[in-house]
Amino acid sequence: MPLYKTITPNSQTTVKVWKITESYQQLFSGVTLQDYALERVLAMKSELHQRGFLSVRYLLKEFGYADADLFYDANGKPHLHDGRHISITHSFNFSAVIVSDVAVGVDIEKQRDKITVIAHKFIDYEANYLDVKASNYVNKLTAIWCVKESLYKLFATPGVSFKNYFLVIPFEISDGETVAWIDYQEKKYRYQIYFLEFEGFTCAYAMA
């Protein structure tokens, strides 16, 4: 089974990345799903999404969990019954799960030029240090999107926008880490951010 990468930023936190090479049937045959999860995967119209969903259950196995250990709250945020924090992501042929003793969020995105078209929807402060003519502009935009998506998953508060509430401190791709803030209802929250690139994808994860 293609566990692609394991990252341990500290003793309380682990990220596992899966490269999805199996067929839907191969993945489906190897997991036991709760009723709601079975209904959810069968209702998906895209096999790519089905494979992503199922690959996450294999990542849960890598952590020693089963699908039955996972549940979602009213905002759609995943939780583990043992109280540890979890976040989930999948994009095309990669998926990732982060598990920690502290609040966390993770996101994977494919690096694509079309992100430049929607940049104005999620970039504000970051425009001060981005160079639209730089050769790595798409990579940096993708990293910022991943960071803000991971923050959104961590914060799990309806109504917060990437552009208005999330701020990513200047960074270089080679740094592999930065700091980000959520400025919401007159309070500021600081988060440590890590990111990496592989096979045309960007992965970022945030920790409280």
Cα–Cα nearest to 152, from 175, 184, 124: 184
Q: Calculate mean pLDDT across residues 102-117.
A: 98
Specify the pLDDT at position 2: 86
pLDDT tens string 130-158? 999 999 999 999 999 999 999 999 999 98
- Residue 1 clears pLDDT 80, i.e. is over it: no
Quote the percentage of the chain above a pLDDT of 90. Answer: 96
Encode the chain in three state secondary structure: CCEEEEEEEECCEEEEEEECCCCHHHHHHCCCCCHHHHHHHHHCCCHHHHHHHHHHHHHHHHCCCCHHHEEECCCCCEEECCCCEEEEEEECCEEEEEEECCCEEEEEEECCCCHHHHHHHHCCHHHHCCCCCCCCHHHHHHHHHHHHHHHHHHHCCCCCCHHHHEEECCCCHHHCEEEEEEEECCEEEEEEEEEEEECCEEEEEEEC
Interatomic CA distance for residues 95 and 107, integer angstroms: 9
Fold that domain 3-101 belongs to in CATH: Ribosomal Protein L22; Chain A (3.90.470)
- Residue 189 clears pLDDT 70, i.e. is over it: yes
For the entire predicted model, the pTM comes to 0.95
pLDDT tens string 154-170? 999 988 999 999 999 99
- Residue 177 clears pLDDT 70, i.e. is over it: yes
Report the chain's C-alpha Rg in angstroms.
17
CB atoms under 10 Å from CB of 175, counted, come to 12
Cα–Cα nearest to 167, from 175, 155, 158: 155
The residue whose two tokens read 């069968």 is 42
Domain 107-207, what architecture? Alpha-Beta Complex (3.90)
- Beta bridge pairs of residue 113: none
Q: Calculate mean pLDDT across residues 67-81.
A: 94
Question: Where does CATH 3.90.470.20 sit in the chain?
Answer: 3-101, 107-207
Quote the percentage of the chain above a pLDDT of 70. Answer: 100
Q: Calculate mean pLDDT across residues 9-20.
A: 97
Average pLDDT, the chain: 96
Torsion-angle region of 156 (φ positive above 0: left; ψ -120 to 50: alpha; else: beta):
left
Does 75 or 93 have the greater pLDDT score? 93
CB 182 within 8 A of CB 165: yes
Reading the block at residue 179, the tokens are 């700091």
pLDDT tens string 39-63? 999 999 999 999 999 999 999 999 9
